[in-house]
Amino acid sequence: MIDYTEKIPNNIDLGRDRVLQRALEHWQPAYLNWWYDMGPNESHNYEVYLRTAVSVEPDGWAQFGYVRMPEYRWGIFLQPRDEKRQVNFGTHKGDPAWQDVHGEYRSTLRRVIVTQGDTEPASVEQQKMLGASCPSMYDLRNIFQVNVEEGRHLWAMVYLLHRYFGRDGREEAEALLARRSGDTDNPRILGAFNEPTPDWLSFYMFTFFTDRDGKFQLCALAESGFDPLARTCRFMLTEEAHHMFVGETGISRIIQRTCEVMKENKVEDPSDVRSLGVIDLQTIQKYLNFHYSVTLDLYGSDVSSNAANYYTSGLKGRFEETKIDDDHQLIEAQYPVSEVVGGKIVTKNVPALTALNERLRDDYIREIESGLSRWQRVIDKSGIPFRLTLPHKGFHRAIGNFAGYFISPEGEVLSQEAWKQHEFEWMPSPRDHEFVQSLMSGRVVELGKFANWIAPPTRGINNQPLNFEYVRFN
């Protein structure tokens, strides 16, 4: 009999809840089987210098040490309960926050939790093969850290399913281990989580763009009137921050290296840049266009009755809900959304309650813009006259008002033929992918060494030097 209070670090007094303990006891071997199958390839014997969440105290949750990943202490952590917390929006505004699920919201809430939970193992599956082409031991350790934490985020959602949703919840928890990213018969729920992450440029873009959707969705769920969900998401956010750091600094280091090589060799033409073994800025822009647009879809339709219902019922709030100065019910409020009318993009006001997906997407875009300006500074510092830009919101969209239209990065509505003619000026072509992957044909793991196409980071993990042995291969 596994002692779960020992094996699953938690701050929910798991040992005293026999039913929950048994349910998790049943689920854990299935989870481990999934990890062995779908976790990082060939990594099971590696000892990785990981941080592990051991408590929710500021100094307790980040402990560093060597861990074999299947032995990672995936635990259950909730932000401590605030007895005075209330439902802060929607029709139940002012009621004490719920410690249990309202019967009438059961299936809606389960759905939101399942959708969130589904993304976590999906991303691990998407990144499964990347260890074989890592640019350094530092980066290898970072991807493993991201992977084990996504695994823990799955635990976080599975805990809620098991604890609050009975048999349905247990079935959903099993289904989370059965779907597979990109599978034709049983794919992951949301679009971006079925796209491959075939190389490290994609990985960093994914952690910058798509993990940040994770941040904004978790922030909205952290406002939930259902207190256990809110507290779970609050703690998940502390881990999410590291994933976005990996993405932002990864791209920044690639840009820096490209600029260094361009300056040293006085080249600007993308094919000359490529011949020096670094990724040309034009290709970086195309990857950016792809990941940004696919991630914008993750916010759902611009006008959504689902989103309105989530809000009115108090299940999912807005980004920083309690800091917003309004009625928190959106009775009269309007919000601008765009749509295509007669071949032009126009903006109109709609009831703000129905535009909550769009509002969250806009909050996200603002943060993306700041990240992009930090990358731009790296280029500007080198004196290279190249500007990274965000494509128009309607570019390459498959969900919402722009779906089915062919919109250029500048926001022109084009015919399908005209758009297709430019497709590979805007998005990575099979040849671009081939080139990027040609740079990443093997792994670089000598101590302190970095692949030619990426600059070293400014510092190591947890104050360790760059030539530290972050992964022991055994």
Contacting residues toward ligand BYC, per CB under 6 A? 112, 115-116, 119-120, 123, 150, 190-191, 210-211, 213-214, 217, 297-301, 304, 306-307, 316, 357, 399
Q: How far apart are CA 399 and CA 361, in angstroms?
A: 12
CA–centroid distance for 236 within its chain: 11
Pick from 423, 430, 102, 472: nearest CA to 293: 423
Nearest CB to ligand BYC, comparing residues 133 and 357 = 357
Pick from 227, 255, 389, 212: nearest CA to 314: 227
Nearest CB to ligand BYC, comparing residues 180 and 274 = 180
Nearest CB to ligand BYC, comparing residues 298 and 455 = 298
Minimum separation from the CB atom of position 55 to ligand BYC (A): 23
Positive or negative, the CA dihedral 97, 158, 294, 378 is positive
The Cα angle at residue 236 between residues 235 and 237, in degrees rounded to 5:
90
Minimum separation from the CB atom of position 302 to ligand BYC (A): 8
- DSSP tag of 80: P
Q: How far apart are CA 29 and CA 33, in angstroms?
A: 6
Minimum separation from the CB atom of position 195 to ligand BYC (A): 11
For residues 144 and 40, the answer to whether their CB atoms sit within 8 Å is yes
Q: How far apart are CA 170 and CA 179, in angstroms?
A: 15
Nearest CB to ligand BYC, comparing residues 239 and 280 = 239
Minimum separation from the CB atom of position 316 to ligand BYC (A): 6
Minimum separation from the CB atom of position 464 to ligand BYC (A): 26
Nearest CB to ligand BYC, comparing residues 112 and 173 = 112
Pick from 206, 132, 117: nearest CA to 162: 117
Minimum separation from the CB atom of position 361 to ligand BYC (A): 9
Nearest CB to ligand BYC, comparing residues 202 and 357 = 357
Minimum separation from the CB atom of position 368 to ligand BYC (A): 14
Nearest CB to ligand BYC, comparing residues 333 and 418 = 333
Residue 107, classed as helix, strand or coil, is helix
Helix, strand, coil in percent for the chain, rounding step 5: 55, 10, 40
Residue 464, classed as helix, strand or coil, is coil
